Amino acid sequence: MSSIIEVKDLITEYNGERILDGVSVDVKKGSIFVILGGSGCGKTTLLKHIIGLLFPVSGSIKVFGQEIVGMEEKKFEEILENCGMLFQEGALLNSLSVGENIAIPLRQHTDLDEEIIQRVVRTKLHLVELDYALNLSPSELSGGMKKRVALARAIALDPKILFCDEPSAGLDPVTTREIDKLLMKLRDQLDMTIIAVTHVVDSVRRIADEIIFLDDGKVMFTGSFDKAEKSDIPQIKKFFID
């Protein structure tokens, strides 16, 4: 299985404090890769570097085999068009209907006519099992439904990579399980690679093909969930117990 994201020796600092210290990551195409760690360990910072929101002091980040550190903005935008982002709170616009929210990336990044856009919107809603919600407003949705709509928007452009920031945030265990199943289904049906930041252990156990565990900006472990759970590394044992 080939690598779709490669991070090598990443170092980043903020106000003189080292946030990521020599982090290396290798994400295989078609996998669900989960970034784990306690609060303030650097997991969201790592995600932001991969999607170009932050820039490192040194190190390499390759996406689709292309070095993005120092890449010109227009070229990087082309890479981002092959990526989707599921935000922690969903980030839906309350002034727009469900269908209009999903259509945003289609209208911004394509020249499709309105009939095709509406067809794509309905297809994505069907994939997240919310066919009936097309004309509802976000205020009429439950937390789990909002997450599904946000997911439909994130996959509107058929991304090769889907980034998820705390996909289970604010959800009860039953809804979390449903979102996990949906992520796995979409990965298989759309041949996507998924990179998720989460702290929900049961969710990681269900979805992760591979995990990386960060502590104080350093990589403590990379491998399968089963191996992590059996690890004798104190920080990892504490994370699973807590």
Q: What is the DSSP-derived secondary structure letter of residue 153? A: H
β-bridge mates for residue 219, sequence order:
214
Instruction: Decide: residue 165, CB within 10 A, 0-12 exposed, 13-18 middle, 19+ buried.
Output: buried
Instruction: Decide: residue 61, CB within 10 A, 0-12 exposed, 13-18 middle, 19+ buried.
Output: buried
Q: What is the pLDDT of residue 242?
A: 63
Coil, strand or helix: which one is 20?
Answer: strand
- On whether the CB atoms of residues 51 and 213 are closer than 8 A, the answer is no
Q: What are the C-alpha distances in Å from 230 to residues 40, 223, 238? A: 24, 11, 12
Query: Is the entire prediction scored with pTM above 0.85?
Result: yes
Q: Which two tokens stand for residue 220?
A: 């403590």
Task: Delimit the domains of the chain by residue range.
Answer: 3-82+159-241, 90-158
Who wins on pLDDT, 90 or 194? 194
With b for 16 or more beta-carbon neighbours within 10 A and e for fewer, the 140-149 pattern comes to ebeebbbbbb
Q: What is the pLDDT of residue 58?
A: 92
CATH topology of domain 3-82+159-241: Rossmann fold (3.40.50)
Q: Quote the percentage of the chain above a pLDDT of 70.
A: 98
Q: Who contacts 27 (Cβ-Cβ below 8 Å, separation ≥6)?
A: 3, 4, 5, 6, 33, 193, 195, 210
β-pairing, 83-86 vs 32-37, is unpaired
Q: What is the DSSP-derived secondary structure letter of residue 96? A: S
pLDDT digits (tens, 9 = 90+) for 108-129: 888 889 999 999 999 999 999 8
- Average per-residue pLDDT in the chain? 89
Question: What average pLDDT does the segment 174-183 reach?
Answer: 90
pLDDT digits (tens, 9 = 90+) for 154-163: 999 999 999 9
Q: What is the pLDDT of residue 32?
A: 94
